[in-house]
Amino acid sequence: MTTSALRVAVDIGGTFTDTVLMTGDGTVIATAKTPTTPRNPTEGALHGVRDVLRDVGADWARITGFIHGTTLATNALIERRGARVASVTNAGFRDILEIAYERRYSQYDINIDKPDLIVPRARSFTIAGRMDAQGRELTPLDETGVDALADALRDSGAEAVAICLLHSYANPAHEQRLRDLLLARLPGLAISISSDVSPEAREFDRLCTTVANAYIQPLMAHYLADFASAFAAEGVRCPILMMTAGGGMTTIETAAALPIRLVESGPAGGAILAARIAERAGAREVLSFDMGGTTAKLCLIDEYQPQSARRFEIARAERFIKGSGMPVRIPVLEMIEIGAGGGSIAHVDRLGRIQVGPHSAGSEPGPAAFGKGGQNATVTDADIQQGLIEPASFAEGRLRIDTGAAADAIDRCFEGAGLGTDEAAAGISEIVDESMAGAGRMHAVESGKDLGARIMIAFGGNGPLHATRVARRAGVQRILIPRAPGVGSAVGFLYAPVSFEIVRSRYATLDSLDIDGLNAFFDTMIAEAESVVRAGAPEALLTTRRTAFMRYHGQGHEIEITLPDRALAAEDLAHLRHLFEAEYRAQFARSVPGMVIEILNWSVRVASSADPAGRVARTEPAGRAVPQRRSSILCEVSQTRREADIYDRATLRPGQSLQGPALIIEPQTTTYVSADFSATVDGDGTLILTAEGYTA
């Protein structure tokens, strides 16, 4: 029985809920993967934490740190299960959502589906009043019109309101006053204001972000309150921190007010883990591959930092076409996510082609093999049919696997297609693996990077099982599988800093920059961010990163330039010009002499200091590992049935090696070593999979 302080992380996914228990020195001592309970996600989380505490003989009072990530916010936006939202903009600007960018995302598609932006024109309202771009009041807020506005909101049935007034990033007074006046008349209304949610220029993106926040705010506030209450009743006394899309943690109170920051928070934990593994291994160029039960996520990591962005899209009408979804402008770790997971449903389309995803069987009913009533063939059913999942060890034996049901579902799916069960199962795997590899290639091309030179770090419940098959198609030749990969995102939560980032617009040109005003502007943002971080890390040493978003005059997009963490002085201006032009040349191969340089946005990120990752010690070869047994699998390299060695990962020792085909089994997942790959174990216990013929 352990008596030391413990930290716990809970990651609620679409299919499974992952739980990790870690000691104060960073050692993972227990993990659990339990089915997600969609009707009440807290129930599945409670089961997971009870399981890990029972495994080590600890009680709830030992938990001194609790980090939570959830897909609930993401799924509510994708599945449109949020509140009934109305918007309020300036008089004359009712149609911001209708006009959008004034362009089609696919010029020649006559059947184009316009993105669903949640608020129809009938629930778009306006009020008189106006600020200019410098934050000066041009027209006072029309407070006499608030009664009529409140009546219109009540009549529309709105449960939440998104207020987005022009230039509120420069002066939020009108938005704040309007919010207070409406709450006095409609006290039960959930109101989001753009100056809190996304205080940046570009009103369409800002309004969309505020609408999305308002849409999920009632749902998430209720969920987070229930979650905190349920764990407090069990005996948890420490604050519960929430994982954010930007790769940091924040308080549950901040998350309830700004739930849009929780979108894609689970995958962010996986990217944090991959970055740490990359640093331990000295891998400077990495592809993070996280495949779960519902989706697969891929992220590029350079110099141990995940690629980040300030904008992404939700619920795209066309999966790979930019502009076909709802834009959201928040700090986020940039990754590509596709509907390809263990629960992804396979079918044959009207042209006789195998299609997989994006629809998923989820945890209820789940794949046919789970025996919960699922009738559709899924990726997991295909893996079981190919012998790549051992039924007795799946999900630590908590789920009984029916291999016959998996085969029957595949046969039903491909009835009349002229394929045997093995052929159909292999076809499902080939389609889903190519989809994931194709997504990775496209993501790399969009970022101007090459996948071939990268090392893949694979985790998630299905990542290690599909890693070699995806890597082969993506041209990647080395793969790292960390310890406890099946709950990788939850492990990543425990390495994330408590952090908060603010991006705010303040237009200036470099030649006319008001240095004193800018320093005061930064001081205000730093104080705001520190107040959020201190609530979750009251004693931690904090770090601050300042950034400017710069461009040449007349351009539509900015380049991110890191600033020194101190007050700026007049002599810094020449250095800022040099930094911008150097980065511009790196991206576009030239600079533009004599052109005016503008700064549109400024950002501050305050974070608690992270412990250094250190490097893995060199491991001497320790001979070939001895398999526990052998089993028949369908080998995708030879396209025949053949025997594969079976290993228990817990018995593998640093320096040992093995040759594929092989299955390395552990509590929450299985690593499949294809016939054209070999594997070794490093000093951390990480599996290193290497393609045949690879030379460093």
What does the pLDDT average to over 212-221?
Answer: 95
CA–CA separation, 590 and 596 (whole Å): 15
Q: Tens of pLDDT along 242-264?
A: 999 988 888 999 999 999 999 88
Beta-sheet strand order (sheet of 249-251)? 28-35, 16-23, 6-12, 63-70, 240-243, 249-251
Angstrom distances, CA of residue 59 to CA of 19, 53, 54, 62, 614: 15, 6, 8, 6, 32
Residue 317 clears pLDDT 70, i.e. is over it: no
Q: Tens of pLDDT along 356-366?
A: 877 778 777 88
Strands 478-481 and 455-459 turn out to be parallel
Tokens of 283: 């891998």
What does the pLDDT average to over 161-173?
Answer: 96
Residue 2 clears pLDDT 70, i.e. is over it: no
Residue 696, pLDDT score: 64
* Highest mean pLDDT: which range of 74-83, 393-402, 483-492, 532-541: 483-492
Query: Is the overall model pTM greater than 0.85, yes or no?
Result: yes
Q: How many CA atoms, within 13 angstroms, populate the side-chain half-sphere of residue 212?
A: 32
Residue 463 clears pLDDT 50, i.e. is over it: yes
For 171-281, list the strands marked E by DSSP: 190-193, 240-243, 249-251
CA–CA separation, 274 and 268 (whole Å): 10
Query: Euclidean distance between the first and final Cα of the chain, in Å?
Result: 45
Q: Tens of pLDDT along 9-37?
A: 999 987 789 999 999 888 889 998 888 88
What does the pLDDT average to over 37-56?
Answer: 92
Mean pLDDT over each residue of the chain, to the nearest integer: 90
What burial letters (b/e) apply to 108-132, b meaning 16+ CB within 10 Å? eeeeeeebebbbeeebbbbbebbbe
- 415 confidence band (pLDDT: 50, 70, 90): confident
Residue 3 clears pLDDT 60, i.e. is over it: no
Tokens of 654: 């640093």
| Residue 673 CB coordination number (10 Å) | 26
Residue 663 clears pLDDT 90, i.e. is over it: yes
Residue 659 clears pLDDT 90, i.e. is over it: yes
Continuous segment of H or E residues that includes residue 218:
helix 203-234
Tokens of 545: 């990163």
Name the CA dihedral angle for 580, 583, 587, 589, rounded to a multiple of 10 degrees. Answer: 90
Q: Could you tell me the domains of the chain?
A: 1-61 (3.30.420.40), 78-220 (3.40.50), 499-608 (3.30.1490)
Strands 130-131 and 6-12 turn out to be unpaired
Comparing CA positions, the residue from 249, 212, 242, 246 lying closest to residue 227 is 242
Q: Are the C-beta atoms of 103 and 229 separated by less than 8 Å? A: no
Angle in degrees, CA 620, 626, 627, rounded to 5: 135
CA–CA separation, 586 and 654 (whole Å): 41
Lowest mean pLDDT among 176-185, 187-196, 553-562: 553-562
Lowest mean pLDDT among 389-393, 485-489, 613-617, 682-686: 613-617
Q: Tens of pLDDT along 52-86?
A: 999 999 999 899 999 999 888 888 887 788 999 99
Residue 110 clears pLDDT 60, i.e. is over it: yes
What does the pLDDT average to over 550-578?
Answer: 92
CA–CA separation, 89 and 36 (whole Å): 39
Residue 314 clears pLDDT 90, i.e. is over it: no
Q: Are the C-beta atoms of 622 and 656 separated by less than 8 Å? A: yes
Residue 1, pLDDT score: 47
Residue 571 DSSP symbol: G
